[in-house]
């Protein structure tokens, strides 16, 4: 904690606001020169006092910190936080000041992106191999769970996957079954399949956010992650896969970006890195925010009732003929808005649960053009 902030917490603000009118011309010149130097560090004099800190004369726009006086500003500049922020700002300024790439540079970049996608991404043959793994596993599981079916989802289906990526498989099951029951039975079935050299290294992680069963396909050597009833992930996958089919630049860009993140070792979630699907979404967001957008934005203020603070009330419902994105607006029930700080008791009886579900699912259904 800086001395400025410590003094603020103790209420020991002793600085006096400098009135320019009370200074000599030489003192005013010295103050102006000092403030010009501070501005290089993004510390500016406040045009009017802050209601919260009336005796503080300056604001560091980089760190959002109020500073008492010139001496306090110099002390703030030496803090680790400010040094880190100033370094990042300088790097950003350098990047923004780079000249536009030449046609030759664009061709070289285009070639590098396409090469990274071809080397590290999955081919049609790789995709067919993964589909075969799903079909083979489905055949084994359905011998005992006849009402269930398997579906491929995740980066393998969107084509954002590396050759080394896991194969994400989801089990669809009827309402008469529960997710825990399905996964426990799948675990046992896959363990027993090892006797016939089908799937090996079968393990489970039922405490994860999305409970899964891990196994390795013996024939291909591919690692599989099997979930159950993961409908939201499958809906998202179908949306991204449709985008990838219609916009040919998307897959190479995502693969190149993912490869860069892998080289920089920032894609390892176990070490606090960014999950791979977030990297895909970052590329899509970038293409949506171009001066001339390459991909459209599906939700915005042109939709009646849209509020960025309540964007989680809008839910993806599926794709329509690879041309439209289906979505539904389901406003939260009264009394469950953000910021109210009141937790309502969970419904106990089946009747109460049905009433709550009915209240929540009343909403507007619509669709937006995919491209």
Q: Domain segments of the chain: what residues? A: 3-96, 124-234, 296-337+344-371
Instruction: Determine the pLDDT at residue 106.
Output: 96
- As beta bridge partners, residue 328 has 315, 365
pLDDT class of 103 with cuts at 50, 70, 90: very high
What is the edge-to-edge ordering of all strands in the sheet holding 167-172? 149-153, 167-172, 223-228, 212-217, 199-205
Q: What is the pLDDT of residues 42-73, one digit of tens each?
A: 999 998 888 888 889 999 999 999 999 999 99
DSSP class of residue 19 equals P
d(CA 84, CA 82) in angstroms, rounded, equals 5
Instruction: Determine the pLDDT at residue 226.
Output: 98
Instruction: Determine the pLDDT at residue 336.
Output: 55
pLDDT (average), residues 21-45:
87
CATH number of this structure's domain 124-234, picked from the four choices 1.20.120.1730, 3.30.460.10, 3.40.190.10, 3.90.1150.10? 3.30.460.10
Residue 13 pLDDT exceeds 50: no
Could you please report the per-residue DSSP string of 116-161? HHHHHB--HHHHHHHHHHHHHHHHHHTTT-TT-EEEEETHHHHT--
Q: CA dihedral defined by 189, 190, 196, 200, rounded to 10 degrees?
A: -160
């Amino acid at each position: 904690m800086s001395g400025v902030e410590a003094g603020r917490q103790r209420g020991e603000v002793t600085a006096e606001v400098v009135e320019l009118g009370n200074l000599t011309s030489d003192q005013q010149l010295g103050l102006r020169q000092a403030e010009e130097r501070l501005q290089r560090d993004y510390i500016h004099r406040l045009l009017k006092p802050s209601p919260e800190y009336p005796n503080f004369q300056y604001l560091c726009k980089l760190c959002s910190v109020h500073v008492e006086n010139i001496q306090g500003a110099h002390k703030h500049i030496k803090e680790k936080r400010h040094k880190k922020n100033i370094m990042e700002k300088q790097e950003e300024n350098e990047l923004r000041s780079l000249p536009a790439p030449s046609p030759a540079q664009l061709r070289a970049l285009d070639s590098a992106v396409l090469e990274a996608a071809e080397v590290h991404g999955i081919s049609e043959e790789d995709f067919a191999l993964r589909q075969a793994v799903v079909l083979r596993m489905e055949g084994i599981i359905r011998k005992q769970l006849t009402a269930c079916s398997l579906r491929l989802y995740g980066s393998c289906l969107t084509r954002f996957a590396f050759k080394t990526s896991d194969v994400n498989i989801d089990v669809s099951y009827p309402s008469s079954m529960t997710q825990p029951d399905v996964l426990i039975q799948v675990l046992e079935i896959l363990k027993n399949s090892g006797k016939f050299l089908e799937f090996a290294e079968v393990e489970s992680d039922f405490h994860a956010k999305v409970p899964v069963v891990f196994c390795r396909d013996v024939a291909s050597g591919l690692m599989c992650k099997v979930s159950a009833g993961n409908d939201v992930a499958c809906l998202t996958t179908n949306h991204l896969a449709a985008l990838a089919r219609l916009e040919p630049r998307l897959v190479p860009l995502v693969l190149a970006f993912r490869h860069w993140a892998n080289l920089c070792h920032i894609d390892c979630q176990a070490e606090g890195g960014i999950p791979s699907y977030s990297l895909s979404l970052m590329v899509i967001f970038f293409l949506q925010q171009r001066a001339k957008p390459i991909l459209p934005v599906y939700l915005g203020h042109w939709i009646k009732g849209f509020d960025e603070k309540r964007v989680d009330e809008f839910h993806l419902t599926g794709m329509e003929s690879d041309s439209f994105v289906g979505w539904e607006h389901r406003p939260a029930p009264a009394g469950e808005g953000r910021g109210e700080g009141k937790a309502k008791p969970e419904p106990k009886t089946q009747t109460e649960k049905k009433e709550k579900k009915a209240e929540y699912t009343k909403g507007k259904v619509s669709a937006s053009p995919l491209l």
